[in-house]
């Protein structure tokens, strides 16, 4: 793993290492290591490796007599040798451990060990090791820098503040400045990022990482002059290094420019075929582009060179499972769905994808030439690996542009999930990314996707909650101008989810005050490379501070009364009163407070709010009609569990609303499409209201779920086809029924009728 080396070098070569080496210039081992690293960076790798090997020989000859600092030198040499022999990484860790044992106060050894862990995606051990450093010196700058990286890696709050502490102590620390540049680029503050890189280069104009970061930002900004300048300088100093190409590729991938990222990574591989990180970055970006076969080749090359890269290993393990999936072509789409559920999911996904395509291509003026790949995962862990290479991602779906992945409702580890609104959300990204040439900022892309969810179907998409309003009241929501931070570097666990909803509100505000057209014009602005500040000035004719104030006013206007009820806690208090009455069995008395609570915060339909308890109270009173009405309002406010949809269907049927009941069951299928009995019921309802195509789909779903009584399922499908006038399909289905049960009397009669051209 070359990146193993360079990742180590990220700290070693750029900040702590030269510092410590110079401090011990008279030490012969240190001097030899420094010389070997210089050879390595100049491109004379064979000489460098010979020297690294000699250092290992010294260790073998004098192991017991080396000082802790000399052991660190050996460990660094081993890390370089790990590029050719992965076992050397393990040896490096063991030698760092020896160095620490020899002198527990050697903080440099601990930081380098932690860095090695982190470079192998082992953040847990990195965290422990860094904590050991902090227990001895809470202000040790290399440890602060590494901790900032670790927190960023883990998505843990505080990366910025830890890095700020490091910069406070060493304002010109090159590694810290470069890391700050990356953090700023992550929140799409590219101007700020460039300022940081410039400052780092003023401190050390030959620094590889700073030059690479400068190149990445120049490429991102389309700044050809700087691009050429940084590129030339890097090449002259590090002629055989692909680190800059990898840095550019990673930066491009972070802002969703996957095709360009793959291109840069490919060039990196050409420059240095032993740069395993370049192979992995290439493979992962090809995977995002849906180029599965080529991606696998790159990832396997990477893994052969660096078997410790957990991301690559997990991804290859995931690719091994792709044989368990069906690939289904549906018009412009390619679905990849696990065989166990491919038939039933494809039934719904096809119509949904077509509808999304028609809606979004028209709205965003973008259509794809390549097929859109949609992957559905039954394991949240697999989805997580597909997305970020590691398990534990909180998201339910991801869009890489033309490749979309989301979690199946069968995922045991996903919790309540509306797979259809998730797919709709991700497909909206496909179009907003496409319409802006992937230049749309994260906050707007997410905002539009949530906004589109709510427009897609009643009840889809996030809605307001007491917790969201409380966060607003507590000043914990970011203004629109800084909303990207809420996604990329959340300050508290719920901030990401609040940011999704808030971003959708920003879109609503723009649509209300400036018209839908303004949203499209904003996308056009981003497409041409404008920043958010420029886009807001050009399209909304205002500046960001003013827009922030406008949004603040919008929040107070829209949620004013609900905010008051949240602020003085009257909402939850009144709900609690209603619940207590309900628990005591006094449902009649419970209705009034619950109705009052609902009036205070009518937009909140969550489980701890007024609606579900009001429905229960009304049902207990026997007022089914009113209960059905309240329930209908509630399901329109956001996702509810599957059982609620089914209950609603029952209630509507009892009140004679067959079409409404069908609609409720249709919504239930977006939460759980696996209940055969509900498909049968829905088929019956559609038949009753004359929705013959949908009745066929429901009968197809029953067949797809492989019921025990397949003959009956095929028979019912044949009947649905016959009713819709699809005689040939009916004949094919009835054959399948009779193939299983040749003496099935009703099926025999239908077969005869179909042949005789009679209806029963």
Partner 1 sequence: MRSRWRRSRNDVRRLTFDVGRLTLNALAVGLIAASSVHAQTSLVIVSGIGGEAKYTKAFGQLSSALAEAAHGRAKLADTSIIWLGDTAASAAKSRWYSGLSTRVNVERVLDGLADRRDGQVVVVLIGHGSGEGPETRISLPGPDMTATDFARVLSRFGNRRVAFINLTSASGDMLPLVAAPNRVVMTATKSAFQRNESQFARFFVDALSRDGADTDKDGRISLLEAFKYAESETKRYYETGGKLATENAQMADEGQLAGRFFLNAGGGGVGAGSNARLTALYAERSAFDDQIQSLKKRKTQMTADAYDAELERLLLALARKAREIRQLERGA
The one among 410, 428, 523, 696 contacting partner 1 by CB under 8 A: 410
Give the CA count within 13 Å in the CB-facing half-sphere of 357: 19
Question: Given the complex with partner 1, which of 568 and 745 has the nearer CB atom?
Answer: 745
Question: Given the complex with partner 1, which of 414 and 522 has the nearer CB atom?
Answer: 414
Distance from CA of residue 1 to its chain's centroid? 26
Question: Given the complex with partner 1, which of 220 and 750 has the nearer CB atom?
Answer: 750
Interacting positions 709-738 with partner 1 (CB under 8 A): 709-712, 731-732, 735, 738
* DSSP letter, residue 326: E
User: Least Å distance between CB 693 and partner 1?
Assistant: 24
The one among 64, 708, 725, 760 contacting partner 1 by CB under 8 A: 708
Among 93-101, 253-261, 566-574, 743-751, the segment contacting partner 1 (CB under 8 A)? 743-751
User: Least Å distance between CB 709 and partner 1?
Assistant: 5
User: Least Å distance between CB 735 and partner 1?
Assistant: 6
Element (H, E) at 196: helix 190-203
Q: Would you say 417 and 407 are in contact if contact means Cβ atoms under 8 Å apart? A: yes
User: Least Å distance between CB 671 and partner 1?
Assistant: 12
Question: Given the complex with partner 1, which of 16 and 751 has the nearer CB atom?
Answer: 751
Question: Given the complex with partner 1, which of 433 and 734 has the nearer CB atom?
Answer: 734
Element (H, E) at 238: none
Among 573-581, 668-676, 696-704, 721-729, the segment contacting partner 1 (CB under 8 A)? 668-676
Question: Given the complex with partner 1, which of 21 and 717 has the nearer CB atom?
Answer: 717
Question: Residue 748, interface with partner 1 (CB under 8 A)?
Answer: yes
Question: Residue 63, interface with partner 1 (CB under 8 A)?
Answer: no
Question: Residue 672, interface with partner 1 (CB under 8 A)?
Answer: yes
User: Least Å distance between CB 340 and partner 1?
Assistant: 8
Question: Given the complex with partner 1, which of 232 and 755 has the nearer CB atom?
Answer: 755
| Number of residues this chain uses to bind partner 1 (CB under 8 A) | 30
Question: Residue 759, interface with partner 1 (CB under 8 A)?
Answer: no
User: Least Å distance between CB 391 and partner 1?
Assistant: 17
Please, which residues have CB within 8 angstroms of residue 327's CB and are 6 or more apart in sequence?
Answer: 334, 335, 336
- The pair of structure tokens assigned to 480 is 């629109």
Question: Residue 675, interface with partner 1 (CB under 8 A)?
Answer: yes
Q: How far apart are the first and last CA of the chain?
A: 72
Question: Residue 339, interface with partner 1 (CB under 8 A)?
Answer: no
Token look-up 């609690």 returns: 576
Rounded Cα gap, residues 147 and 153, in angstroms: 10
* Residue 375, φ and ψ in degrees, nearest 5: -105, 135
Q: Would you say 91 and 71 are in contact if contact means Cβ atoms under 8 Å apart? A: no
User: Least Å distance between CB 334 and partner 1?
Assistant: 24
Among 27-35, 57-65, 69-77, 746-754, the segment contacting partner 1 (CB under 8 A)? 746-754
Q: Is 92 helix (H, G, I), strand (E, B) or coil?
A: helix
Question: Residue 742, interface with partner 1 (CB under 8 A)?
Answer: yes
User: Least Å distance between CB 706 and partner 1?
Assistant: 8
Among 160-168, 329-337, 461-469, 674-682, the segment contacting partner 1 (CB under 8 A)? 674-682
Question: Residue 412, interface with partner 1 (CB under 8 A)?
Answer: yes
Distances 536 to 185, 519, 622 between C-alpha atoms, Å: 19, 10, 54
Question: Residue 739, interface with partner 1 (CB under 8 A)?
Answer: yes
Please, which residues have CB within 8 angstroms of residue 58's CB and are 6 or more apart in sequence?
Answer: 29, 66, 74
* Residue 372, φ and ψ in degrees, nearest 5: -95, 125
User: Least Å distance between CB 381 and partner 1?
Assistant: 14
Rounded Cα gap, residues 133 and 165, in angstroms: 15
Rounded Cα gap, residues 740 and 130, in angstroms: 65
Among 125-133, 182-190, 572-580, 707-715, the segment contacting partner 1 (CB under 8 A)? 707-715
- The pair of structure tokens assigned to 586 is 């006094």
Question: Given the complex with partner 1, which of 65 and 759 has the nearer CB atom?
Answer: 759
Question: Given the complex with partner 1, which of 27 and 326 has the nearer CB atom?
Answer: 326
Rounded Cα gap, residues 310 and 122, in angstroms: 8
Rounded Cα gap, residues 627 and 590, in angstroms: 13
User: Least Å distance between CB 664 and partner 1?
Assistant: 19
Question: Given the complex with partner 1, which of 723 and 740 has the nearer CB atom?
Answer: 740
User: What does the DSSP assignment read for 386-433?
Assistant: HHHSSS----SEEE-SSEEEEE-TT-TTS-S--HHHHHHHHHHHHHHH
Interacting positions 135-174 with partner 1 (CB under 8 A): none
User: Least Å distance between CB 343 and partner 1?
Assistant: 15
Tally of residues, the chain? 760
Please, which residues have CB within 8 angstroms of residue 432's CB and are 6 or more apart in sequence?
Answer: 364, 440, 444, 445, 448, 449, 523
Among 92-100, 234-242, 650-658, 741-749, the segment contacting partner 1 (CB under 8 A)? 741-749
- Tell me what percent of the chain is helix, strand and coil, each rounded to the nearest 5: 75, 5, 25
The one among 47, 455, 674, 723 contacting partner 1 by CB under 8 A: 674
Pick the closest to residue 210 from 491, 202, 505, 282 (CA basis): 202
Question: Residue 747, interface with partner 1 (CB under 8 A)?
Answer: yes
* DSSP letter, residue 337: E
Among 198-206, 309-317, 477-485, 740-748, the segment contacting partner 1 (CB under 8 A)? 740-748
Rounded Cα gap, residues 493 and 467, in angstroms: 12
Element (H, E) at 479: none
Q: Would you say 76 and 95 are in contact if contact means Cβ atoms under 8 Å apart? A: no
Among 5-13, 181-189, 594-602, 749-757, the segment contacting partner 1 (CB under 8 A)? 749-757
Q: Would you say 386 and 435 are in contact if contact means Cβ atoms under 8 Å apart? A: no
Question: Given the complex with partner 1, which of 394 and 742 has the nearer CB atom?
Answer: 742
Q: What track of x and - describes contact with partner 1 for positions 487 through 526 (by CB under 8 A)?
A: ----------------------------------------
Rounded Cα gap, residues 252 and 230, in angstroms: 16
Please, which residues have CB within 8 angstroms of residue 199's CB and are 6 or more apart in sequence?
Answer: 172, 177
* Residue 239, φ and ψ in degrees, nearest 5: -65, -30
Question: Given the complex with partner 1, which of 173 and 700 has the nearer CB atom?
Answer: 700
User: Least Å distance between CB 670 and partner 1?
Assistant: 15
Question: Residue 76, interface with partner 1 (CB under 8 A)?
Answer: no
User: Least Å distance between CB 734 and partner 1?
Assistant: 8
Rounded Cα gap, residues 694 and 100, in angstroms: 69
The binding site for partner 1 (CB under 8 A) comprises 410, 412, 672, 674-676, 706-712, 731-732, 735, 738-745, 747-749, 751-752, 755
């Amino acid at each position: 793993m070359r990146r193993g080396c360079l990742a180590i070098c990220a700290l070693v070569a750029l900040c702590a290492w030269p510092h410590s080496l110079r401090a011990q210039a008279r030490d012969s081992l240190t001097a030899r290591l420094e010389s070997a690293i210089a050879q390595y960076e100049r491109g004379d790798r064979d000489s460098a490796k010979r020297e690294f090997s000699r250092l290992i020989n010294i260790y073998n000859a004098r192991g017991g007599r080396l000082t802790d600092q000399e052991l660190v030198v050996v460990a660094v040499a081993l890390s370089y040798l790990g590029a050719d022999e992965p076992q050397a990484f393990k040896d490096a860790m063991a030698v760092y451990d020896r160095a620490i044992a020899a002198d527990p106060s050697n903080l440099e050894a601990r930081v380098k060990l932690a860095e090695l862990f982190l470079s192998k995606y082992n953040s847990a051990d990195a965290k422990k090791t860094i904590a050991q450093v902090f227990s001895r010196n809470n202000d040790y700058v290399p440890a602060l820098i590494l901790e900032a990286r670790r927190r960023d890696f883990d998505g843990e709050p505080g990366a910025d503040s830890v890095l700020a502490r490091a910069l406070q102590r060493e304002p010109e620390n090159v590694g810290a400045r470069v890391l700050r540049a990356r953090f700023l680029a992550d929140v799409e503050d590219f101007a700020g990022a460039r300022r940081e890189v410039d400052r780092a280069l003023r401190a050390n104009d030959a620094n590889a990482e700073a030059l690479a970061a400068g190149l990445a930002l120049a490429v991102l900004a389309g700044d050809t002059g700087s691009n050429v300048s940084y590129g030339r300088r890097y090449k002259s100093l590090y002629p055989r290094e692909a680190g800059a190409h990898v840095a550019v590729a990673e930066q491009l991938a972070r802002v969703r420019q996957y095709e360009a990222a793959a291109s840069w990574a490919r060039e990196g591989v050409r420059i240095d075929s032993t740069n395993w990180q370049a192979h992995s970055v290439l493979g992962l970006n090809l995977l995002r582009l849906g180029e599965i076969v080529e991606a696998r080749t790159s990832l396997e090359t990477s893994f052969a060179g660096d078997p410790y890269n957990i991301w690559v290993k997990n991804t290859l393990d995931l690719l091994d499972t792709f044989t368990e999936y069906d690939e289904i072509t549906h018009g412009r789409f390619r679905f990849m769905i696990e065989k166990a559920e491919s038939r039933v999911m494809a039934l719904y996904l096809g119509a949904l994808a077509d509808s999304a395509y028609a809606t979004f291509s028209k709205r965003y003026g973008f259509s794809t030439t390549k097929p859109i790949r949609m992957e559905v995962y039954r394991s949240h862990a697999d989805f997580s690996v597909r997305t970020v290479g590691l398990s534990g991602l909180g998201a339910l779906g991801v869009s890489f542009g033309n490749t979309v992945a989301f979690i199946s409702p069968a995922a045991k580890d996903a919790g309540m999930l509306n797979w259809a609104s998730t797919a709709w959300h991700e497909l909206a990204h496909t179009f907003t990314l496409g319409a802006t040439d992937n230049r749309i900022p994260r906050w707007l892309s997410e905002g539009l996707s949530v906004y589109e969810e709510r427009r897609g179907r009643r009840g889809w998409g996030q809605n307001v909650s007491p917790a969201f309003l409380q966060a607003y009241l507590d000043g914990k929501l970011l203004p629109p101008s800084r909303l990207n931070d809420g996604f990329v570097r959340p300050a508290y666990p719920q901030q990401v989810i609040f940011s999704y909803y808030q971003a959708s509100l920003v879109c609503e505000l723009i649509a209300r005050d400036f018209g839908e057209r303004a949203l499209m014009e904003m996308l056009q602005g981003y497409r041409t490379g404008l920043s958010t500040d420029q886009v807001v000035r050009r399209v909304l004719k205002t500046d960001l501070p003013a827009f922030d104030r406008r949004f603040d006013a919008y929040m107070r206007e829209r949620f004013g009364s609900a905010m008051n009820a949240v602020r003085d806690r009257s909402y939850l208090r009144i709900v609690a009163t209603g619940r207590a009455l309900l628990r005591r069995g006094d449902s009649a008395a419970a209705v009034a407070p619950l109705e009052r609570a609902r009036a205070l915060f009518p937009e909140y339909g969550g489980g701890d709010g007024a609606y579900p308890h009001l429905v229960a109270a009304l049902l207990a009173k026997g007022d089914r009609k009113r209960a059905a009405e309240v329930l209908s309002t509630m399901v329109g406010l956001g996702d509810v569990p599957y059982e609620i949809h089914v209950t609603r269907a029952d209630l509507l049927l009892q009140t004679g609303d067959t079409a409404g009941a069908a609609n409720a069951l249709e919504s239930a299928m977006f939460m759980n499409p696996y209940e055969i009995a509900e498909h049968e019921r829905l088929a019956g309802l559609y038949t009753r209201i004359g929705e013959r195509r949908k009745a066929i789909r429901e009968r197809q779903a029953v067949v797809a779920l492989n019921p025990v009584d397949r003959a009956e399922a095929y028979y019912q499908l044949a009947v649905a086809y016959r009713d819709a006038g699809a005689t040939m399909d009916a004949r094919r289905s009835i054959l399948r029924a009779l193939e299983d049960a040749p003496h099935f009397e009703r099926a025999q009669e239908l077969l005869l009728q179909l042949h005789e051209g009679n209806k029963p």
